[in-house]
Amino acid sequence: MSTVSWITARGLFGRRRFLLLLPLPGLLLALAILSRSLGVDPGEWGPAVLVGLGLAVVLPVVALIVGTGVLGAEIDDGTVVHILTKPLPRWQIILPKLAVAAGVTAVTVAVPLYVAGVLAHSVRLGLALAVAASIGALAYCAFFVALSLVTRRPVLLGLVYVLIWEGLLGNFVSGTKVLSIQQYVIALADRIAPTELLATDVSVPVAAVMSALIAVGFTVLAIDRLRSFSVAGETS
């Protein structure tokens, strides 16, 4: 484990905001277990819990908390200066931080999604959801890490993207789905385990290419912005 990853992980788990990660996956698990134990038809609760809660809320919100936490929190409190005053090419800072963010998000979200998928349909669906959510975690985290460097309000802008763009516009304006990480995750999961529980208009090639483009594009953007990082404020 690199020193940057180690400090990032210690910082992430050492802050209280990490506790925010726990309730949402817990709720997902609880709802899936409750629905299954009450014998409700998976066709009724599956889409709402797996997509409506799991992929539309838990995944992006956890990625938002973690993605903005690995760099944005350090920028906020000024500790980022300690890492930046080292003779490291900036990609050696961004990549470990992104790996920690995507890894933590993937584990936090993929495990409850796997369990919920198994309970709703099959082990295959559980695995499909876990794999697709992990890919989504990488794309979301790349986006949110880059947001931390282009704006001082990454959490707010991230929420606007998740709630307004993906959540609201995605339901009314079909074109927005082409630029929705949530839709890519659904398309990829449905490709790995085709069921009637997951449905999207986005094709699998588009989902795969766009996920890769977003992950790579925002990572490159973050590296470039970190090269020109200015210590703002407190200029006396």
Q: Which residues here bind other proteins, judged by CB under 8 A?
A: 3-4, 6-7, 10-11, 14, 77-79, 81-90, 227-231, 234-236
The encoded tokens of residue 116 equal 């919920």
Name which of 76 and 191 has its Cβ closer to other proteins.
Answer: 76
| Nearest distance from C-beta of residue 197 to other proteins, angstroms | 42
Closest among 206, 88, 63, 228 to 139, alpha carbons compared: 63
Name which of 84 and 220 has its Cβ closer to other proteins.
Answer: 84
- How many CB atoms lie under 10 A from the CB of residue 90? 16
The answer for residues whose C-beta is within 8 angstroms of residue 85's C-beta and 6 or more apart is: none
Name which of 75 and 128 has its Cβ closer to other proteins.
Answer: 75
| Residue the block writes with tokens 């920690």 | 100
Name which of 89 and 194 has its Cβ closer to other proteins.
Answer: 89
Contact between 155 and 64 under an 8 Å Cβ cutoff? The reply is: yes
| Nearest distance from C-beta of residue 26 to other proteins, angstroms | 25
| Nearest distance from C-beta of residue 21 to other proteins, angstroms | 17
| Nearest distance from C-beta of residue 80 to other proteins, angstroms | 8
Name which of 37 and 236 has its Cβ closer to other proteins.
Answer: 236
Residue 47, burial from CB neighbour count under 10 angstroms (0-12, 13-18, 19+): middle
Distance CA 114, CA 48 (A): 15
The encoded tokens of residue 93 equal 């800072």
| Nearest distance from C-beta of residue 129 to other proteins, angstroms | 33
